[in-house]
Amino acid sequence: MTITTKAYKPEISNDQREVIIKDFLPFIKYTAFRLLNRIPPQLTVDDLISVGIIGLLDAIDKYDPNKSKLKTYAEFRIKGAMLDELRSFDTASRSLKEKVCELKGVFMKVERRLGRAPEDEEVAQELNISLDDYYKILKDADSVITLRFEDFSGKLSGGDDINMVDNIPDTSGKDPLTRLIEVSQRNTLANLIDELPHKEKMVLSLYYWDELTMKEIGKVLSLSEGRVCQLHSQAILRMKAKLTANNPL
């Protein structure tokens, strides 16, 4: 007879909490500075760091050792708390969101017509707006195209609640199906990135793989920080447009 035992979650003392906060503080600060270009005037980096600490404390209280490791769960909760705070200050109007949706459609339309990724001027011309107005939409789009895990929470077909955060797998134990899905997703993402213009590919590579800030990328590519943000937003919108076209449901 095999007896299955569940991991036991011991009570965490205040001293232990302080140690955990100290250990996670570099990650919290790093994450806050990575979101620097999305912070509205009403917030500061310190505000975002405080929100990250609150997210960590919430993770300490709620995490289940039977489902995930504290590090895995806490990092998602920290990022989620920061993104939720930014979303609470989201002043994007309905018209801006409509423009972003229109922009994704234009990317696909012009690319099909030209057989290549359209240039900035070509997209602006198709939208019948000035290049400056187009760049303003890209800048404002940063606050509109973010996603959070809670967006994928809901109910299963049987009526049971599902929380995406509670279903984060332990990366140390992947089954064959999970690995196959990951390979497929990587290939899809790699193909989308490969179709991007060179500068946009460079921005994504330096931001997500080399983990440079927008300002640091600007120095590497001899571009302004604002232009780097534009290229980043443009690349994300291009890929989202193609994903939507390939998966309309």
Mean pLDDT by 10 residues, the chain (249 residues): 44 80 89 80 82 88 78 88 80 68 84 86 88 82 53 47 51 59 71 86 85 86 87 85 64
Note the pLDDT of residue 155: 46
Looking at the structure, tell me whether residues 142 and 28 fall in a common domain: no
Domain presence at residue 100 = yes
CB 120 within 8 A of CB 131: yes
Looking at the structure, tell me whether residues 124 and 225 fall in a common domain: yes
CB 84 within 8 A of CB 163: no
Residue matched to tokens 């790699």: 190
Looking at the structure, tell me whether residues 217 and 232 fall in a common domain: yes
Indicate which CATH number applies to the domain containing 76.
1.10.1740.10
Domain presence at residue 212 = yes
Note the pLDDT of residue 153: 46
Looking at the structure, tell me whether residues 202 and 125 fall in a common domain: yes
Q: What is the pTM of this model?
A: 0.46
Q: How far is CA 60 from CA 85, 89, 216, in A?
A: 19, 26, 33
Note the pLDDT of residue 11: 72
Looking at the structure, tell me whether residues 31 and 84 fall in a common domain: yes
Q: How far apart are CA 124 and CA 131, in angstroms?
A: 6
Domain presence at residue 3 = no
Nearest to 96 by CA among 136, 37, 131: 136
CB 105 within 8 A of CB 241: yes
Single-letter residue type at 167: N
3-class state of residue 209 by DSSP: helix
Nearest to 82 by CA among 52, 108, 38, 106: 52
Domain presence at residue 6 = no
Domain end point (choices 88, 108, 133): 88
Give the chain's end-to-end CA distance (angstroms, integer). Answer: 47
Domain presence at residue 225 = yes
Looking at the structure, tell me whether residues 103 and 25 fall in a common domain: no
Domain end point (choices 88, 112, 135): 88
Range of the domain at 23: 14-88
Looking at the structure, tell me whether residues 103 and 222 fall in a common domain: yes
Note the pLDDT of residue 152: 43
Looking at the structure, tell me whether residues 99 and 121 fall in a common domain: yes
Looking at the structure, tell me whether residues 105 and 30 fall in a common domain: no
Alpha-helical (H) ranges within the chain are 14-34, 45-62, 70-88, 94-114, 120-127, 131-141, 176-194, 198-204, 214-221, 225-246
Note the pLDDT of residue 169: 53
Q: Cβ–Cβ contacts within 10 Å for residue 128, how many?
A: 7
